């Protein structure tokens, strides 16, 4: 063969596979299917205005048909009263669940590593409904997407130099989206065989204690009254929220700890039937776990996270008081107890502020950890770099960001938001000193810059916490950013609403 005389082509580093983006709870824009009216994810007035929000929250409550929807329903006659119109495109927020950033950066990363933008398919879904229902819809949509992409690849001779392997699927799922992917692949074994990797980011495989706190909002007498009551009334009807209930031992009884029962959930403000269905599913996975193909878990760490709770009684109502610790379990799933006292061993496992670390790490052989908050992980530079590497079949690291400095920075903001005119307490954990540390607040809706805040040691805490006070000058969604200078910045969103004038 004569020597090659031309200029050899250099191919971009791309994957032949098809990617599916699956958002978390709250992460899809929802519209009224009949009128096209946007009910979720467009106008923050739904969260800051009692009159506007009341009708929207009422419209989002699940009907009896929606509450009963399951995988079988999705395969025969899908529920169509509300449709998912797209992925969240602007920052959003809800009491207890807190802030959620849009998925714009993730979409940009994925389209940059595939052969053509058509290889990336967002999967918006009605997160109000059951995980099993949305899993069936995802299985059908993912199969159709893979079929179309394989046909497109086969028709392009210029892509053959990238390799002859038949394209497969890569799922990138945030939060509840990982549960939806698991349901889809459980229901469709052939689709699981055609899946190369499932990347989960902050997925609560064991559930999240925050689901209980959301169902308990009305009992907790939180402010602003109208918003907390509307959110609790909405959450109590939603199968999706109940599907996030913790299946691990989380009810602290002092000398013992128990798993939730459907009766417990009803006492805290949830729906007994929805809870029973969801907790039965948790038990099934506990006994017969399903291994996600090529599972790569990215786990938020070091953030103050409610992991269990203790029941208090106030005015005859059961109030769930969150606790920042979990209980150690041995290899036989038995509680570890202190040898001297017999008291269950408590340990702070931290997490991403919403999902505690053990829950998000289930099923992955070598989870990758990042210091970041649940709702903002999909904009975190380290997370996006890791997703890009996995999509390109690169080795996965277990620590994202700089090497271990001995510091585990965490950021905590009020999970129920704040009221205009009242200062918010912002807390930084894991740092010994404020030297070289920056904490800033700016508008998440307009980008209007704020001013750096002064961090001071909190004399009332024993964990070396630093605190700062922030008083907003207008109702808005604010972004709090912690920059240590040695770790990627940690951000969190917090909503400030007008003064509470509710009487009911």
pLDDT at 264 over 90: yes
CATH number of 18-247+254-309+350-391: 3.40.50.1820
pLDDT of 431 reads 87
pLDDT of 5 reads 65
* Section 295-310 average pLDDT: 96
8 Å CB contact between 470 and 426: yes
Question: Whose CA is closest to 465, among 436, 433, 494, 435?
Answer: 433
pLDDT of 223 reads 65
Tokens describing residue 258: 């128990």
- Cross-strand bridge partners of residue 114: 15
Q: Rounded to an integer, what distance in angstroms lies between the CA atom of residue 310 and that of residue 319?
A: 8
Tokens describing residue 1: 């063969």
pLDDT at 162 over 70: no
396 CB-near residues (< 8 Å, 6+ apart): 296, 366, 368, 386, 389, 390
Which of 2.40.30.130, 3.30.450.20, 2.60.40.10, 3.40.50.450 is the CATH number of 410-497?
A: 2.60.40.10
Confidence bin at 158 (pLDDT 50/70/90): confident
- In the chain, residues under CATH classification 2.60.40.10 are 410-497
pLDDT at 397 over 70: no
pLDDT of 259 reads 96
pLDDT of 394 reads 78
Helical axes 225-235 vs 50-60, angle rounded to 10°: 10
pLDDT of 396 reads 62
pLDDT at 403 over 60: no
- Distances in Å between the alpha carbon of 467 and those of 206, 433, 434? 31, 11, 10
Helical axes 381-391 vs 104-111, angle rounded to 10°: 30
Q: What is the pLDDT of residues 44-100, one digit of tens each?
A: 777 776 556 677 889 999 999 999 999 999 998 889 899 999 999 999 999 999 999
pLDDT of 450 reads 78
Confidence bin at 365 (pLDDT 50/70/90): confident
Burial of 503 (0-12, 13-18, 19+ CB in 10 A): exposed
Secondary structure (3-state) at 126: coil
Q: Rounded to an integer, what distance in angstroms lies between the CA atom of residue 415 and that of residue 401?
A: 26
pLDDT at 401 over 50: no
405 CB-near residues (< 8 Å, 6+ apart): 486, 487
- In the chain, residues under CATH classification 3.40.50.1820 are 18-247+254-309+350-391
pLDDT of 27 reads 97
* Section 402-422 average pLDDT: 81
- Cross-strand bridge partners of residue 443: 478
* Section 113-137 average pLDDT: 97
* DSSP run (H or E) holding 43: none
Q: Rounded to an integer, what distance in angstroms lies between the CA atom of residue 124 and that of residue 423?
A: 36
8 Å CB contact between 126 and 168: no
Helical axes 131-154 vs 176-187, angle rounded to 10°: 70
């Amino acid at each position: 063969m004569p020597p090659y005389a031309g200029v050899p082509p250099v191919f971009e580093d791309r994957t032949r596979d098809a990617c599916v983006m699956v958002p978390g709870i709250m992460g899809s824009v929802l519209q009224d299917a009949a009128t096209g009216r946007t009910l979720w994810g467009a106008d923050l007035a739904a969260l800051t205005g009692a009159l506007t929000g009341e009708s929207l929250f009422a419209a989002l409550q699940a009907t009896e048909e929606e509450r009963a929807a399951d995988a079988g329903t999705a395969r025969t006659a899908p529920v169509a009263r509300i449709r998912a119109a797209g992925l969240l495109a602007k920052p959003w927020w809800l009491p207890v669940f807190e802030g959620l950033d849009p998925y714009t950066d993730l979409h940009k990363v994925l389209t940059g590593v595939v052969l053509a933008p058509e290889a990336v398919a967002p999967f918006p879904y009605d997160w109000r409904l059951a995980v099993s229902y949305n899993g069936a819809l995802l299985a059908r949509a993912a199969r159709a997407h893979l079929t179309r992409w394989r046909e497109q690849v086969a028709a392009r001779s210029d892509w053959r130099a990238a390799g002859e392997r038949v394209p497969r699927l890569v799922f990138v799922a945030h939060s509840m989206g990982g549960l939806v992917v698991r349901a889809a692949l459980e229901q469709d074994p052939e689709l699981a065989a055609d899946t190369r990797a499932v990347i989960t980011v902050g997925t609560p495989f064991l559930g999240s204690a925050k689901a209980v706190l959301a169902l308990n909002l009305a009992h907790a007498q939180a402010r602003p009254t109208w918003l907390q009551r509307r959110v609790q009334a909405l959450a109590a009807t939603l199968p999706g929220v109940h599907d996030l209930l913790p299946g691990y031992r989380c009810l602290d009884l002092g000398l013992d700890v128990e798993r939730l029962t459907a009766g417990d959930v009803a006492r805290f403000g949830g729906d007994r039937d929805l809870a029973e269905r969801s907790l039965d599913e948790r038990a099934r996975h506990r006994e017969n776990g399903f291994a996600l193909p090529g599972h790569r878990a990215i786990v938020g760490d070091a953030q103050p996270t409610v992991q269990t709770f203790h029941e208090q009684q106030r005015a005859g109502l059961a109030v769930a008081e969150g606790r920042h610790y979990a209980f150690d379990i041995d290899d036989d799933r038995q509680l570890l107890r202190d040898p001297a006292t017999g008291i269950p061993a408590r340990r702070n496992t931290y997490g991403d502020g919403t999902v505690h670390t053990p829950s998000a790490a289930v099923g992955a052989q070598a989870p990758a950890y990042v210091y970041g908050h649940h709702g903002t992980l999909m904009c975190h530079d380290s997370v996006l770099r890791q997703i890009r590497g996995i999509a390109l079949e690169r080795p996965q690291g277990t620590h994202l960001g700089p090497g271990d400095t001995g510091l585990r920075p965490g950021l905590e903001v009020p999970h129920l938001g704040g009221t205009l005119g009242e200062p918010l307490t912002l807390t930084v954990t894991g740092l010994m000193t404020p030297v070289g540390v920056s904490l800033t607040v700016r508008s998440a809706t307009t980008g209007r810059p704020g001013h750096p805040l002064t961090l001071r040691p909190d004399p009332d805490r024993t964990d070396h916490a630093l605190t700062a006070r922030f008083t907003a000058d207008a109702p808005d969604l604010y972004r709090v950013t912690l920059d240590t200078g040695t770790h990627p910045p940690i951000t969190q969103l917090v909503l400030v609403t007008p003064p509470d004038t509710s009487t009911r």
